[in-house]
């Protein structure tokens, strides 16, 4: 049986919690210092908060949609019903942001997996 779909990873995105100095600003996840929206629809999205501060999470830079305490992670697995193109996904082009009321130490990471058609 040949597989016609597989999962692949986008590049790791990060935000340094020490750089979040203004509690009113949403800080975008970065690759090599540049804001990095998702290139592909994300079927598995994981945020790892390896910092010392609680962060709010946004997908539009305006509204908080989730929270990640320091030292925690969250996983959105849209492929839990099986990998298929018609499953829901976080859309390509989505920029994920974080915000904190305090400056911390450590980084916050964003991992995204997408489907590749073989």
- The answer regarding whether domain 11-117 maps to CATH 2.60.120 reads yes
Nearest to 94 by CA among 22, 20, 43, 32: 43
d(CA 81, CA 60): 27
d(CA 74, CA 47): 5
d(CA 60, CA 28): 10
Q: What is the pLDDT of residue 4?
A: 77
Q: What is the pLDDT of residue 9?
A: 96
Per-residue pLDDT of the chain (118 residues; tens, 9 = 90+): 566 778 899 999 999 999 999 999 999 999 999 999 999 999 899 999 999 999 999 999 999 999 999 999 999 887 665 555 566 788 999 999 999 999 999 999 999 999 888 7
User: Could you tell me the pTM of the whole model?
Assistant: 0.89
Cβ atoms of residues 38 and 97 within 8 Å: no
Residue extents of the structural domains in the chain: 11-117
Q: Is 66 helix (H, G, I), strand (E, B) or coil?
A: strand
Q: What is the pLDDT of residue 5?
A: 79
């Amino acid at each position: 049986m040949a597989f016609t779909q597989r999962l692949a990873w986008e590049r790791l995105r990060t935000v340094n919690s020490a750089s979040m100095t203004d509690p009113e600003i949403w800080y975008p996840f970065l690759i090599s210092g540049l804001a990095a929206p998702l290139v592909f629809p994300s079927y598995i999205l994981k945020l790892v908060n390896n910092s010392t501060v609680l962060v709010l999470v946004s997908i539009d830079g305006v509204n908080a949609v989730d929270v990640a305490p320091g030292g925690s992670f969250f996983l959105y697995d849209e492929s839990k019903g099986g990998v298929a193109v018609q499953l829901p996904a976080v859309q390509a082009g989505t920029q994920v942001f974080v915000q904190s009321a305090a400056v911390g130490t450590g980084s916050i990471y964003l991992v995204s997996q997408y489907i590749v058609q073989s």
